[in-house]
Structures are given as C-alpha cells and as structure tokens.
Amino acid sequence: MRKFVFVPLIVLLLAGLGLASAREYRVSGKAGGYTVNVIFDNSPLEKGNNPVKIAVSDADSRPVTDAKVVVDYSMPTLPGKPSMMSYTATATGNGNTYEAMLDLSMRGEWTFVINVTRAGKTDAMTFNLIVR
C-alpha cells in the first residue's frame, strides 16, 4: 500500500517543481514621478532571448501609454573600464504595456536601465539581475 501512495506523491511533487520554474520575474521601481513594473517571462533569466513587458503608470496610478520606453542593458566590468557588452531595445506599445525582446548574450550580472521619455523629458529606473 505504501508504494501506491508514494509514487503519486513523487509525481505531484515533480509536477509542482516544473510549474514553479516556469514563473515570471517582476521588478518594480520609480523613474522620476512614474511607477515602472517590469515583467520578464523567464525566471531566472536565461542566456539568449528574454521577452519583457513594461507597465508605466503616473502619480495617480493611471497607465501611461504615450511614452517612448527604451531599455539599455549591459554587463558591468571592472571599475574605470567601459562596458564591453552594451545593448539597447526600444519597447513597442501594446495596450497598457510596452514589450521588447532582450538578447542576453552571456551568463552573469547585467545592469538594466528603463528609460521613459514623455513630453520631452526622460526619467530612468536602474536595476541589476543575474542571467543563468
């Protein structure tokens, strides 16, 4: 009787682990007076193409749909040296979000800067993530 209970329990546990690894990764922060929510489809981020969705809202929590959103991303290097890997992706509007595809060419720590330009003024949010 124990074997019949133990095997289904292992199958359920493994299925749960598989679903847990397929989650998205979220980062939130401020870019000037805007709240920026960044959602990566992959968690953890992986080497290669990583889709990202960016939601920008104003001080009244209303979605901002008329901004230009650009993602600059690079790998930090030694102090005093310029980054050897630096990329830019312009996000396209899709309803209340902006979407882009980021090609993360190496594993390691990456710095992301989300630039929000609206009415001629650019504000930025910066964060770091590890790519596996």
Q: What is the structure's pLDDT at 23?
A: 86
Does pLDDT of 13 surpass 70?
no
Q: Is 2's pLDDT higher than 90?
A: no
Residue 2 per-residue DSSP state:
H
| pLDDT tens digits for range 79-98 | 777 777 899 999 999 999 99
pLDDT in tens, 53-83: 999 999 999 999 999 999 999 998 777 777 7
CATH label, 23-131, candidates 1.10.1200.30, 2.60.40.3340, 2.40.10.120, 3.30.2020.10:
2.60.40.3340
Percent of all residues in the chain with a pLDDT value above 90, rounded to a whole number: 72
Query: What tens digit of pLDDT does each residue of 37-54 get?
Result: 999 998 989 999 999 999
CB atoms within 10 A of CB 122: 13
Tokens standing for 108?
A: 């390691």
pLDDT for residue 109 is more than 70:
yes
pLDDT at 42: 87
Number of DSSP helices (H) and strands (E) in the chain, helices first: 1, 8
Identify the pLDDT of residue 22: 56
Average pLDDT, the chain: 86
